[in-house]
A and B are shown apart, each in its own frame.
Chain A
Amino acid sequence: MGAPRTHEVARGTLPAMSTSQPTLAVLVDELTRALGKSSVLARPEELIAYEYDATIERARPDIVVFPASTDDVATVLRLARKHGVPVVPRGSGTGLAGGAVPVQGGVLCVLTRMNRILEIDVRNRTATIEPGVINLQLQEAVATHGLTYAPDPSSQRVCTIGGNVATNAGGPHTLVHGSTVNHVLGMRVVLPDGRATFLGSRVPDAPGLDLRGLFVGSEGTLGIATEIVVRLVPRAEAVRTLLAIFASIEDASNAVTRVIASGVIPVALEMLDREIIRAVQHSRDVGYPEDAGAVLLVEVEGLRETVEQQSAQVIEALRAAGALDLRIASEAAERERLWEGRKSAIGAIGALAPNFYLLDGVVPRTRLPEVMRGVEELSARYGFRCGNVFHAGDGNLHPNVMFDSMEPGATERVLALGAEILRLCIEAGGAITGEHGVGLEKRSYMEWMFGADDLEAMSRIRLAFDEAGLFNPCKVLPSGHGCASAHSAELTHHLATPGVYV
């Protein structure tokens, strides 16, 4: 799977605050001398591939560098700072918030060549890795030791651990294990001014301010992680997967609450609605009934005895919530088959419409039934089809709004619908992003959740790390020096993700 980028339309390259050509030429020269010729790109045709992530935000960097070490990263930051040129970190570019898009041009610091697993410490259940290691590679490397790295974003075949750290990535199995921040013990970080430091430790609860906890999820705006110590967990003795079929998304949503109320927190609790089920069945038969309103995938794991008792509790809760049919699998191959529909939703949804807009909102899970009804009503009112495939257990919605950007006005209406859905999430006591981040995309929505004093505190954090305001500018916070133009451009041009996400 390459970073999916199927439908690109109505994009506009965001206006960059340009750095003068002579300055750039000097910087290219200095970077080339420090890092070597093969680690610096500056010819326009080489730069095109680096002007976007998995959103369709675009902005071309002036220079792309591929550091090989912490020292290289520090050099890049120091040189760029000396010339007053912005720097933006980038992993695999699967981000869904525009975080790795260099809106003001400058240097794009691509970390994919720092991809060594430095140590797997089985006795201490930790791994030390460089930021460019791909999530799945780490999973595979530790699996042979009976261990696993819990955060499993659906993009795990492509995305980097550095990107996961920056976005505090989640995944189906973070329901019980928690998002990335719960799995990062410490990391080496190069700060925007080029100073390297270590945040956290190799064990939990290091004394001092928890700068580790602040850095994880800061969306590449506080520095560049160059070495990461992660916590590993043992693979479970037994795993059982259940697929429950419901007449409506509302019934399935109620079932989520019932399962949790039964005292069981499954390791995964995922939902697919009718649109998605049909799309999946169209592309290939995974055995989902096409007339179902929704299916729930529930996974429990632990010691055999735990799995035995908890799956009985889950089954009872699902039945009580009106499950029409139940399928249960314990063997790996059978479980894979139940997960197949969930996993192939990625490809399937692309076939439904020329474009779609993937949203990411969170609500308290007890509010799911009414919020899902609201999403349905709003989509109908705007005249769009909308499919839902999401992490129901933690109330993390992902409505996929399907549209055709060639239809006049459709793009604007989709954006307006997206905004209304996110407002609905906030009104239900939720938040505007559960795992993809604020990035460029949702900066203007921050004010819906936070007051002026809250945002002021956040911008002080930013300033404490980056006084010059040159590090990954115009992200996360609604204001920023020279960001006004990018800000308005984002609303007219930002169109959702071309890539498909589950």
Chain B
Amino acid sequence: MPARGTLVTATSDLEGVLAALPRARHRETSAYPIEGRFPSVALRPESPDGVARVLAAARDARAAVVPQGARTALTLGRPVSRYDVALDTTGLHRIVEYEPADMTVTVEAGVTLHALQARLAEEGQYLSVDPPPGDEVTIGGLLATARAGAWRGLLPGVRDLVLGITVATPEGTLVSSGGRVVKNVTGYDLHRLHTGALGSLGVIVSASFKVAPLPEATAMLALRCPDIQLAERAAFELRDRRLPLRALSLLDASTATTVGVETRAPATTVLAAFEGVPAVVARAERESRDVARRMRAAIEAVPPFTWSALRRRAALAGSEEQTVLVRLGVPPSRVASTLAAVGSGRLEAWAHVAAGCVYVRGASLTAATLLALQADAHAAGGFLQVEHAPAELRDIGDAGDLELTRTLKATFDPEGVLNPGRWGDDA
């Protein structure tokens, strides 16, 4: 493993990269480790143009750039094969334009979700996403990873909310698509292509979003059901009553305990969150009690902390290197059987029902288990994504049509400047 400050790429001439920005924008490389590796150069541009200059210089030097925001998701995707330049996006911190009456906002990529939500809340609005691990993520990271939380499937996700984007390219240009209006079919939707691209096709420098009014009232409930079958029935009944759900999750006993709902296996907890006008939230609470009674479940209100704790479970802290975390996508009808298949051993498992999203987490997850889970997911028309794992397990995850992916990667980044290897493209 290369030591701190060593040039990773033999052919790199990083002088040009360093010259791309004034000295004040240079950073200590020791602050940018990725899986034990350090870059040779770390830069924090403060304008979209600055990002473009760094990329152009990196391309000339044949150096590999890893853009990074809050640095919470750098293990997502295959490991980067080369790492010369850390491009810190947090210098792009402006909210460019916000028109509350249009319910649209344009922000730079280094703005944190927290800062954006705070600004929107002043006008009674918000961006309806709850990515793991929390609102510390940057807008660039939010888009590049397209990570979703418990609201997905019930509220629109980040892919549905992005209206336009500007990215810096390895050619040193700034490329835009879409726009600032809520309905627009002009040209190819490059903004959708960059959403979830893990920074492999360009560095997102700014984006426009559609925002929503903050709900007037919310309620969060836990239904502790005697077993998984009853929990599944309870969840589907809540859904089918068309109650204004914004989250509907199933938690195995160990996950429930971790987030503060005391239970013991085989009990399974349904976590439900409702939002809307006060009268409707009150009705949702009444109807939930009715469902709980019939499913022989104990029902209680839970604090917002329960949700934020669950959200953090979908991410790992630095000290948990050995923990494996995977996300499965299966049709909602297969969520309970997937949880049952994982079983309650030393693993934690939970699911967001509407989006068919099942998380499994634990240090004991082996390649064999992952392959078995993946085979079941495939049989149901779904997928498995490795969210966090030692490098040798990360080849297992699905990544869509690799032939098209590599063609697009070669088209937009022929020299392999951006996050090389994320799609297994830098062999």
With beta carbons under 8 angstroms apart, the residue of A214, A396, A435 that contacts B188 is A214
Chain B contact residues: over half helix, strand or loop, or mixed?
loop
Q: Which residues of B contact A234 (CB under 8 A)?
A: 240, 242
B400 and A199 within 8 A (CB)? yes
Tell whether A366 is near chain B: CB-to-CB under 8 Å: yes
**How many residues in B have their beta carbons less than 8 Å from beta carbons of A?**
79
Q: Which residues of B contact A436 (CB under 8 A)?
A: 185
Kindly supply a per-residue 1/0 record for chain A positions 392-422, scoring 1 wherever the CB is within 8 Å of any chain B CB and 0 otherwise: 0011100000000000000000000000000
B101 and A260 within 8 A (CB)? yes
Known: A237-B242, A394-B182. A461 touches B330 (CB 8 A): no
Residues in B355-403 with C-beta less than 8 Å from chain A: 355-357, 380-383, 385, 397-403
Tell whether B121 is near chain A: CB-to-CB under 8 Å: no
Q: Which residues of B contact A210 (CB under 8 A)?
A: 146, 159, 192-193, 195-197
A261 and B101 within 8 A (CB)? yes
Known: A213-B189, A303-B280, A434-B183. A205 touches B102 (CB 8 A): no
Min distance, Cβ A447 to any Cβ of chain B, angstroms: 11
Tell whether A454 is near chain B: CB-to-CB under 8 Å: yes
Tell whether B421 is near chain A: CB-to-CB under 8 Å: no
Chain B residue with Cβ nearest A128:
B381
Residues in B181-229 with C-beta less than 8 Å from chain A: 181-190, 192-193, 195-197, 201, 212-213, 216
Kindly supply a per-residue 1/0 record for chain A positions 128-165, scoring 1 wherever the CB is within 8 Å of any chain B CB and 0 otherwise: 00000000000000000000000000000000000000
Q: Which residues of B contact A181 (CB under 8 A)?
A: 160, 189, 192
Chain A residue with Cβ nearest B77:
A207
A438 and B187 within 8 A (CB)? yes
**How many residues in A have their beta carbons less than 8 Å from beta carbons of B?**
88
CA distance A388 to B176 in the complex (A): 31
With beta carbons under 8 angstroms apart, the residue of A170, A302, A476 that contacts B244 is A302
Q: Which residues of A contact B355 (CB under 8 A)?
A: 203-205
B188 and A303 within 8 A (CB)? no
Tell whether A179 is near chain B: CB-to-CB under 8 Å: yes
Residues in B331-345 with C-beta less than 8 Å from chain A: 331-333
Residues in B153-198 with C-beta less than 8 Å from chain A: 153, 156-157, 159-160, 169, 173-177, 179-190, 192-193, 195-197
Chain B residue with Cβ nearest A477:
B187
Tell whether B243 is near chain A: CB-to-CB under 8 Å: yes
With beta carbons under 8 angstroms apart, the residue of B179, B192, B280, B402 that contacts A431 is B179
Taking Cβ atoms with an 8 Å cutoff, the residues of A that contact B are 121, 123-126, 167-168, 170, 174, 178-179, 181-182, 191, 195, 197-199, 201-211, 213-214, 216-218, 234, 236-237, 257, 260-261, 263-265, 302-303, 305-306, 308-310, 362-366, 391, 394-396, 429-438, 442, 446, 449-451, 453-458, 460-465, 476-477
Taking Cβ atoms with an 8 Å cutoff, the residues of B that contact A are 99-104, 124, 146, 148, 152-153, 156-157, 159-160, 169, 173-177, 179-190, 192-193, 195-197, 201, 212-213, 216, 236, 240, 242-244, 276-277, 279-280, 283, 329-333, 355-357, 380-383, 385, 397-405, 407-408, 411-412, 423
